[in-house]
Amino acid sequence: MYERDKSLAQGEELRFFLSFVANKEMNVLEPMCGNGRMLIPFMQEGIDIEGFDLSVDMLERCREKCVDLNLIPTIYHDKIEEFSTDKKYDLIMIPFGSFSLLPDHLVAKSLENLSSLLKENGKLLLTIMTTSNTSEEIPNWAQTNRVEFTDDTIIEWKKVHYDEHENTLHTTIKYVLMRDQTVIKTETMNFRVRLYEENEFDTILSRNGFPNVTIHEVKDGYGFGRSFDVYECMTEKAL
Ligand SMILES: C[S@@+](CC[C@H](N)C(=O)[O-])C[C@H]1O[C@@H](n2cnc3c(N)ncnc32)[C@H](O)[C@@H]1O
């Protein structure tokens, strides 16, 4: 159901990430590419992009979608803190706050690894969840989205708890698939997202090889009225 709700990136979010691809000679890498939500629209634009993810299931969804679209993805099963290749990239991007899923002890190691994968003038784009742009707690189940398909409807319910000591948002999402007023299937997901304070992530970046950072606020990127911050980072090599 996550797949049906979040199949392919589009609109403002997609336009924003595509705007960093100056030409088709650029090599792009998407760590944590998941089900190919962003990777596939990039491939459809003829961009040379590779991706990797920890989840075999997510990579399988990506491959299935590519078969339907007659595309052959270059995707690997790997971890952001360990991925290695002889290749260097012009652009590395992690949309949708995926980087904020990483526990604190993997952050420095992952940034160091990403820095080693970039060309000298390469750029890293990271969508980061901050305390200023992330929604408040939802103590009781609340309906947060509804997607209508020809026969079915998916209703998203959410509960959110913020742990101030760990600066972590604990979210439970329940997707309910309905057909003719009847529940066909329910799927529940739990995840923890690290929320960064203002300037906190800039400091982490500069300590781990990315001293030059520009923050972009992308408005209406995940739907009207919702905005998120993308950190555009250059390595020390580029300065
Ligand atoms: C919310 S999904 C987002 C996928 C994609 N970035 C997008 O924009 O749709 C987060 C993804 O991060 C992956 N992931 C989590 N920890 C990871 C790690 N340490 N290394 C690689 N992938 C990881 C998960 O398997 C999942 O597919």
Which atom from ligand 1 is nearest to the alpha carbon of 94? 6
Give the model's pLDDT for residue 135: 64
Mutate which of 32, 56, 84, 100 for ligand 1? The one with the most ligand atoms within 8 Å of its CB, which is 32
Helix (H, G, I), strand (E, B) or coil at 14: helix
Distance (angstroms) between ligand 1 centre and the Cα of 16 equals: 20
Give the model's pLDDT for residue 5: 60
CATH topology of domain 2-131+195-238: Rossmann fold (3.40.50)
What's the full length of the chain, in residues?
A: 239
pTM over 0.75? The answer is: yes
Which atom from ligand 1 is nearest to the alpha carbon of 6? 9
Rounded Cα distance between 132 and 160, Å, is: 16
* Residue of the CA atom closest to atom 18 of ligand 1: 79
Domain ranges of the chain: 2-131+195-238, 138-194
Distance (angstroms) between ligand 1 centre and the Cα of 182 equals: 32
Distance (angstroms) between ligand 1 centre and the Cα of 34 equals: 5
**Alpha-carbon distance values, 158 to 104, 135, 143, 186, 226 (Å):** 25, 12, 6, 13, 16
Beta bridge mates, 169: 162, 193
pLDDT less than 70: residues of the chain: 1-5, 134-135, 223-224, 237-239
Adjacency order of strands within the sheet including 152-163: 138-148, 152-163, 168-179, 182-194
Give the model's pLDDT for residue 238: 64
Q: Which protein residues touch ligand 1 with a CB less than 6 Å away? A: 32-34, 37-38, 53-55, 58, 79-80, 95-96, 98, 101
The mean pLDDT value of the chain amounts to: 92
Distance (angstroms) between ligand 1 centre and the Cα of 32 equals: 4
Mutate which of 54, 75, 190 for ligand 1? The one with the most ligand atoms within 8 Å of its CB, which is 54
CATH code that applies to domain 138-194 = 2.20.25
Distance (angstroms) between ligand 1 centre and the Cα of 98 equals: 5
